[in-house]
Structure 1
Amino acid sequence: TCARASTSAWTRAWVPGASTPAAAVADAASAAASAGNPIFAPIRWGFAASHARGVHGSAARFVDERFTPVLETPEMDAEYEKLAEEIRRSPKKRQRFLLLEALRGTRLKPLIAAEHELLKEEGAYKPRALKTRVIDVNRTCKVTKGGGLMNFTALVVVGNGDGVVGFATGKGKDVAMAVEKAYSRASRSLVYIERFENSTIFHEQEAKHCKTKIVLMPAKAGTGLRCNQIVESICEMAGITDVRAKVIGSHHPHNTVRACFEALERIKSPADVAAARGATVYRI
């Protein structure tokens, strides 16, 4: 445990010439990064950061020089350089949030765990042959005293254009990460849609999800896709070229996609109906 010391005295002791505690931590991070230890910068200068946030006395802790080795990458180095520059240019309230973020290593978590998250949580199997359509991207912002924290949710439909189709949602710190997660999940939850002559559906089918009702109707060859944009994207991924559809009630993208998939999965071919009844189908 260290003796009580003022903020300015402590920051001058650690980083000579520092004008403010925030600048001291920023300079310390830059110095550690240039010395080849960017991952240790926010930990090594934790005491100065705690004083910059107004922590004194018994709450202060001495940070020793023993650290757990962590694999360093150029991306981590660049991220801490960017963080140090952002701390210098930010107002005081924003500086406190960034200093706390540096101490916790929040900036490095996406860099370190991105590949592991995709391989372990989402699975290593990612077939790139599937076509992709991004149906909806939603952005949320959690307001904190240090600034807004952005998060994105993407709704994606995938398919091979020949009866195989699937959908899923994914969340991430940016749009690309959210779409990648949604694609990975959708590629592992595929369904096969029965089609008549590989162009339309066998019969009219209805489905409802929440306050969204959808009616799918078969159409003759050359009719095309007479439906809204969301249903059109799903039909294209499933390889359906001729169909008419009507969406009744709420047109929310998520409800529309789920209602459409429920309707498509309920479609049965004559062979399926015959097998359920124990009959035999003969083509005349």
Structure 2
Amino acid sequence: MAEENKQKRSVEQDDADNFVEKIVALNRVAKVIKGGRHFSFTALVVIGNGNGRVGYGYGKANEVPDAIKKASSIAKSTMFDVAINNGTLAHEMNANYKASRVILRPASEGTGLIAGGAVRAVLEAAGVVNVLSKSLGSNNPINVVTATINALKKIRDPELATKNRKEQASLQKNIEESK
């Protein structure tokens, strides 16, 4: 029963904006004060449109729903575009954040999403269907999600990269000719 509730809670469709919201981590934290412990909650949420846009947020509040709302609003404000080609990534990418390291590799059609919990949540929200991934080092969800986001931000669309490279080469050629 608890697993069923967790599954229902982790994937919610926000109909107004058509976003996929995934709760990656939900923690109860305590602050020790003179009268005892004061409990609050933190939520790590990943939001994506399932079509190349993704963002994440970390919210903290006295109640669980408030923490999730805060994290969701932060995630919506941090959304960015991911270069996806035919349901997979354009090229291989590695990224680090603190002690976490994430390796993302493009995969052929039909491979599926081979990824662990936090990495899987980010890639599903982004709309990536076929990818191979490996998470090394710290398995702290905040660090793993941030490392995955950093890797996705570094991925460039091949056509755009080629166009930029050609422009750079022509500028360099013009500079050399003017000397």
Higher strand share: 2
SS in 1 for 2:146: helix
Matches within 5 A, 1:1-284: 128-197=17-86, 199-278=87-166
Deviation at 1:152, TM superposition (A): 1.0
Q: Distance between the aligned counterparts of 2:161 and 2:28, measured in 1?
A: 44
Write the letter of the residue equivalent to 1:205.
Answer: M
SS in 1 for 2:142: helix
Query: RMSD of the alignment, in Å?
Result: 1.3
Q: Distance between the aligned counterparts of 2:57 and 2:123, measured in 1?
A: 16
- Which has the larger Rg? 1
Across the two proteins, how many residue pairs are aligned to each other? 152
Q: Distance between the aligned counterparts of 1:128 and 1:170, measured in 2?
A: 20
Structure number with higher relative contact order (C-alpha < 8 Å, ≥ 6 residues apart): 2
What's the TM-score, normalizing by structure 1?
Answer: 0.52
Higher helix share: 1
Listed one character per residue, the Cα deviations across residues 210-252 of structure 1 (whole Å, up to 9, x for unaligned) are 1111110000011001111111111110000000001111111
Q: Distance between the aligned counterparts of 2:60 and 2:17, measured in 1?
A: 20
What's the TM-score, normalizing by structure 2?
Answer: 0.81
Listed one character per residue, the Cα deviations across residues 64-107 of structure 1 (whole Å, up to 9, x for unaligned) are xxxxxxxxxxxxxxxxxxxxxxxxxxxxxxxxxxxxxxxxxxxx
Listed one character per residue, the Cα deviations across residues 132-155 of structure 1 (whole Å, up to 9, x for unaligned) are 101111221123343321111111
Identity of aligned residues (%): 36
Write the letter of the residue equivalent to 2:47.
Answer: V
Q: Distance between the aligned counterparts of 2:48 and 2:98, measured in 1?
A: 25
Write the letter of the residue equivalent to 2:148.
Answer: C
